[in-house]
């Protein structure tokens, strides 16, 4: 992180002085997004990368768009899916189709944080076997997904697999 950015962040009211240092040169740059409230009478927000680009809408009520927790679950599924697809492709058994159904259980108190997440992967493709697909899912969830690694470690995450229409073998 450049000296200017460091001093800029230090001046932010809620900056964490104990935050880990920036990654070394050549590492991932910080993620920056911009969020805009859609206005009175709504609890909806448009978000996008800070430099511009497509927007997504998050509806805190969950009535017209996914809510914040739904969006987090979507991000987890998308992040792990990228890794699963990449691992299967490297094994020369690319998926023809992949979808993930995600269920997040929440605490019955405020804040209603996630306590358990189940990811149900539905994968179709020729030559794909169950043990290697389960291993790809395990690596994605436990090692490679930065979204998962950013979540509280106390959140239990498990998974199951439906491979070419056959549902057995839980993670």
DSSP string, 68-111: HHHHHHHHHHHHHHHHHHHHHHHTT---SEEEEEEEEEE-SSSS
CB atoms near residue 145 (< 10 Å): 23
Spatial separation of the C-alpha atoms in residues 24 and 154, rounded to whole Å: 29
Query: Looking at residue 12, what is its pLDDT?
Result: 47
Query: Looking at residue 69, what is its pLDDT?
Result: 96
Predicted confidence (pLDDT) at residue 39 exceeds the cutoff of 70: yes
Spatial separation of the C-alpha atoms in residues 65 and 67, rounded to whole Å: 6
Q: Domains of the chain, with CATH numbers?
A: 3-59 (no CATH), 68-170 (3.30.300.20)
Query: Looking at residue 51, what is its pLDDT?
Result: 93
Reported pTM: 0.80
Predicted confidence (pLDDT) at residue 170 exceeds the cutoff of 50: no
Give the pLDDT mean for 101-117. Answer: 97
Spatial separation of the C-alpha atoms in residues 103 and 117, rounded to whole Å: 6
Predicted confidence (pLDDT) at residue 114 exceeds the cutoff of 50: yes
């Amino acid at each position: 992180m450049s000296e200017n950015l460091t001093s800029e962040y230090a001046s932010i009211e809620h900056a964490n002085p104990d935050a880990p240092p920036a990654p070394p040169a050549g590492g991932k740059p910080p993620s920056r997004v911009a969020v805009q409230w859609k206005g009175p009478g709504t609890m909806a927000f448009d978000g996008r990368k800070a430099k511009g680009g497509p927007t997504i809408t998050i509806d805190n009520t969950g009535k017209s768009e996914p809510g914040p927790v739904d969006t987090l679950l979507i991000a987890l599924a998308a992040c792990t899916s990228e890794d699963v697809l990449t691992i299967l492709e490297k094994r020369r058994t690319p998926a023809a189709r992949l979808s993930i159904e995600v269920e997040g259980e929440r605490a019955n108190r405020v804040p209603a944080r996630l306590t358990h997440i189940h990811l149900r992967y539905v994968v179709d493709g020729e030559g794909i076997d169950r043990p290697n697909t389960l291993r790809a899912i395990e690596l994605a969830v436990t090692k490679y997904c930065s979204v998962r690694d950013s979540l509280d470690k106390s959140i239990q995450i498990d998974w199951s697999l439906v491979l070419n229409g056959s549902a057995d073998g839980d993670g």
